[in-house]
Amino acid sequence: MSYPNPLVPGFNPDPSVVRVGDDFYLATSTFEYLPGIPIYHSRDFITWTQVGNVATRVGQLDVETVPTAGGAWAPTIRHRDGLFHLVITDAFGRGTLHFTAERAEGPWSDGVVFDGVDGIDPDLVWDEDGTAYLTFSGLGVNPELPTFMSHRGLLQAKVDLETGRALEQARSIWSGGGGQFPEAPHLYQIGDWWYMVIAEGGTERGHSVNVARSKSPEGPFEPAPGAPLLTARGTDRPIQNTGHGDLVVGPDGDWLLVLLGVRPRSMTRAFSALGRETFVTRVSWENEWPVFEPVQLTPRPGPFEYLDEFDGPLADQWMAVRRLPESIASTEVRPGWLTVRADGSTLSDPIPSFIGRRQQHQTARCTVDIDVAAGVGGIAVRYDERFHYSVVAGAGAVTARACIPGFERVAVLEYSGTELQLELTSRRPEAGSKFGSSASDIVELAAIIEGNRTVLLEVDGRYLSSEVAESFTGRVVGVVALAGEVCVDRFAYAGSDD
């Protein structure tokens, strides 16, 4: 059996997976977006469907005031005695959290904060006696502690899952093989050994997977020979930044590693438009050590399309920034339409009136059929409040805007009507184009009025990439409201990995 790569495309970093019978459940990071922490389900490890989110209520994640790149970092999902467990760090927010649910689809608990744990990328495991161990990367993210933003290697503590209390002082168990930022530990009992799979080298081009083993979950840990065991650094592989892996036994009994990676483009393959995505690779065993195959690019055949006509509640895939979508959007105000309400914010504010979905393909076209009789708004693609492109209508004009730090490009088309189609397209640069070979893609911002398409702006897509924005997220495409209320009849997406 061959598996597609990316396994879960678009902004889906830090994957963790668990097998329950013949079902697989996968969770990824969401940072400042809500609802937080999507849960994907598969039975064949090929087709993945989002079945819910962990953080669907105010208070489960405290992301309203976290800085950009804060929020929900690096979940671990596990299952024990009929209960799903998910541990995660709400960086610069509530801290390290433990959520539970009887069904992966939810509802999930409010989350218990671990007392005495200051770090990121938590892993949860139980020994034969049922003792729970929390293993984590010792990067301090509590600004009230003297360890803030210092790195103390990989730490571990026994914990009481009912109260969230650490039962001992967190102790050092390993610091990796010498790469920077040892993180993302996952601990497994396989045969006679306890294996710890970690990431190190930083989540950029130096990212890698390393492994150590011990006869006890508490160590001491013996590093694998020939480290790192998996990396793309210094290679010409189309998938780079490979790391942050989680082991699982696949549907045909083979061992698999799910992990993050990016698909950079341009002449020097410098820009990753979609950010960090979820990939998979096969694992074999030699001398009781795992051997990871290089991560291969095997995109799904396209094109891929979806259409949302808002005939019911918002789908699980819709997200807002630092607040829940229902705080600004509704499918009930005007049945069959999505109504998004402005609140005086813009896309350059930390909490915009914007809801969106992940861009999943490097070649993509997204359109909205919109009514701006009662406001100003349109379609936008966002990395964060500093990097965003948009085309909006209302108040007698259609306005395209491209914003990066210190620079804004604007084009205006007079238009007195209220109903039209707005379009945002991402495509490869043509040979000899004005953007040359250094762009990851070209983004077109267009309006379609009475069948006539007008491109207002054609902009370089490299600025909306993880390398330029230095964001942990990825491109999110959706609807923005700048004044009054805007109503969307249809949101259409078509993408391919050509």
Measured CA to CA in angstroms, residue 342 lies from 7, 83, 238, 445, 469 at distances of 36, 40, 41, 21, 26
Of 166, 100, 120, which is closest to residue 14 (Cα–Cα)?
120
Whether 450 is catalytic:
no
The C-alpha angle with vertex 16 and arms to 12 and 18, in degrees rounded to 5, equals 130
Q: How many Å apart are CA 209 and CA 110, to the nearest integer?
A: 32
Q: For 96, which DSSP code?
A: E
Whether 183 is catalytic:
yes
Those residues with Cβ within 8 angstroms of residue 167's Cβ, 6 or more apart along the chain or in another chain: 157, 158, 159, 160
Of 6, 25, 151, which is closest to residue 85 (Cα–Cα)?
25
The answer to whether the CB of 362 falls within 8 A of the CB of 273 is: yes
Name the burial class of residue 296, with classes exposed (0-12), middle (13-18) and buried (19+) by CB atoms within 10 angstroms of its CB: middle
> Helix, strand or coil for residue 461?
helix
The answer to whether the CB of 416 falls within 8 A of the CB of 430 is: no
Choice among 121, 183, 204, 384 that is catalytic: 183
The answer to whether the CB of 257 falls within 8 A of the CB of 247 is: yes
The answer to whether the CB of 372 falls within 8 A of the CB of 365 is: no
- Both tokens of 417, joined, read 């009507």
- Both tokens of 419, joined, read 């109903």
β partners of residue 71: 91
The answer to whether the CB of 282 falls within 8 A of the CB of 2 is: no
Measured CA to CA in angstroms, residue 273 lies from 162, 304, 364, 476 at distances of 41, 18, 12, 11
The answer to whether the CB of 489 falls within 8 A of the CB of 309 is: yes
Cα 249 versus chain centre, distance? 23
- How many residues are there in the chain? 498
- Both tokens of 183, joined, read 């993180």
Phi/psi of residue 166, nearest 5 degrees: -70, 130
Q: How many Å apart are CA 312 and CA 298, to the nearest integer?
A: 34
Known catalytic residues are: 14, 183
